[in-house]
């Protein structure tokens, strides 16, 4: 864009592109004497953090570390960055405790202790959850806390179009607002939290607005990218011929006993294997049967569990004409998550000075080649906090 295309110059201490959990938690963790500007490509509700169903992992106790570490590494085909995995796991309990103090309503047992569910490739239940809308619960809670901060301004319907580079360092971003006005936003530090790449796919569980903007911009400026071919397909999305975002049926449904069956009503895969393995089995069965979908059956899941743990999934399936209490629902794999992205270190720093990337936008190596279920929210929060800590250290 030429200089005359810019209509306004704005100035702040930190600019954050993206208002999902990673962007929000970064803002919430930064000092309140810093002027922070946050951008949302559409409205703040249109972020994939809102869509996370299953939950958020936590280290249950000290004896769980080795198992949790191995589960994450095995799911990632041992291509994970071990340092990042250890950081995430060791930070998990503090993150959960902080979310609780902020008002996140995780499910509890009768004695008041946290209830845990299990998903595929986990050796034990270690996932905190709120019904089947955990992402919405966490994101809306963080958003309400950020809105209370007088030092944070959120600009909706404002899209990052580029970064501003001077002397090999990032000094801000270029953006365009809902009126088409060009903005130059100057900041001491910039955080890219623009989500994944699902909008580039025909069938995806992501919002269409997630088009890998940060990765494109990073590449144009010579900022290092990593594992751009590491794309996760979720095995159980509701089959539909309708256009638009695919509806995901949480892996925790299988953790609670739902089974995958073919058109003959026969199981053909262990539902709790890693996502890529289950996806491959479903695709092979579809090819074998010449079918466009297979089925997920809740026949082994008690009715009270369906209605209390999966109310949103139950209602959505009913709206689509399927009563999962009495019949299997058609499912098909769809693009779900991006394990690659803008390369960052353990403090979420990119290879350009004063430029950070967090959440699904970045690749810090936690997930390896395939993400373990319910590690995404945790990873986003842990490394958003580390970005905020590093920015604070460098600005002071």
Active-site residues: which are they?
Answer: 275
DSSP string, 192-225: E----SGGGSSSBSS-TT---HHHHHHHHTT--E
Contact 190, 172 (CB under 8 A): yes
Contact 112, 100 (CB under 8 A): no
* CA of residue 353 relative to chain centroid, distance: 25
* CA of residue 334 relative to chain centroid, distance: 15
Contact 350, 224 (CB under 8 A): yes
Contact 59, 123 (CB under 8 A): no
For residue 131, what are its two tokens?
């019904």
Distance between the two ends of the chain, CA-based, in angstroms? 34
For residue 195, what are its two tokens?
């989500």
In angstroms, rounded to a whole number, what is the distance separating the alpha carbons of residues 373 and 370? 9
In degrees rounded to 5, what are phi and psi of residue 118? -125, 150
* CA of residue 393 relative to chain centroid, distance: 27
Dihedral Cα 7, 13, 15, 19, nearest 10 deg:
-130
């Amino acid at each position: 864009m030429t200089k005359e295309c810019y209509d306004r110059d704005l100035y702040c201490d930190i600019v954050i592109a993206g208002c999902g959990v990673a962007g929000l938690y970064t803002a919430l963790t930064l000092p309140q004497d810093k002027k922070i500007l946050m951008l949302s490509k559409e409205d703040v509700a249109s972020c994939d953090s809102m869509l996370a169903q299953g939950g958020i992992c936590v280290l249950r106790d000290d004896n769980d570390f080795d198992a949790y570490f191995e589960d994450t590494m095995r799911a990632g085909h041992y291509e994970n960055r071990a340092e990042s995995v250890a950081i995430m796991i060791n930070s998990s309990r503090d993150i959960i405790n902080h979310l609780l103090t902020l008002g996140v309503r995780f499910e509890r047992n009768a004695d008041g202790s946290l209830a845990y569910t299990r998903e595929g490739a986990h050796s034990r239940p270690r996932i905190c959850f709120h019904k089947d809308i955990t992402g919405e619960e966490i994101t809306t809670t963080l958003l309400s806390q950020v809105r209370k901060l007088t030092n944070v301004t959120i600009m909706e319907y404002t899209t990052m179009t580029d970064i501003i580079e001077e002397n090999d360092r990032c000094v801000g971003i270029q953006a365009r607002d809902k009126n088409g006005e060009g903005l130059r936003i100057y900041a001491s530090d910039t955080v890219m939290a623009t989500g994944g790449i699902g909008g580039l796919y025909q069938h995806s569980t992501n919002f269409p607005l997630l088009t890998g903007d940060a990765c494109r911009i990073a590449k144009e400026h010579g900022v290092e990218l990593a594992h751009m071919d590491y794309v996760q397909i979720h095995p159980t999305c509701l089959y539909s011929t309708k256009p638009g975002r695919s509806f995901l049926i949480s892996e925790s449904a299988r953790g609670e006993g739902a089974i995958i069956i073919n058109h003959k009503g026969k199981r053909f895969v262990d539902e709790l294997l890693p996502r890529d393995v289950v996806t491959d089995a479903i695709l092979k069965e579809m090819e074998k049967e010449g079918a466009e979908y297979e089925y997920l059956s809740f026949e082994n899941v008690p009715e009270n569990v369906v209605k209390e743990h999966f109310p949103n999934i139950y209602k959505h399936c009913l709206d689509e004409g399927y009563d999962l209490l009495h019949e299997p629902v058609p499912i098909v794999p769809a693009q779900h998550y991006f394990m690659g992205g803008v390369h960052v270190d353990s403090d979420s720093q990119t290879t350009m000075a004063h430029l950070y990337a967090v959440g699904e936008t970045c690749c810090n190596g936690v997930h390896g080649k395939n993400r373990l279920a319910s590690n995404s929210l945790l990873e986003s929060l842990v490394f958003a906090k580390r970005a905020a800590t590093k920015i604070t250290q460098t600005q002071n």
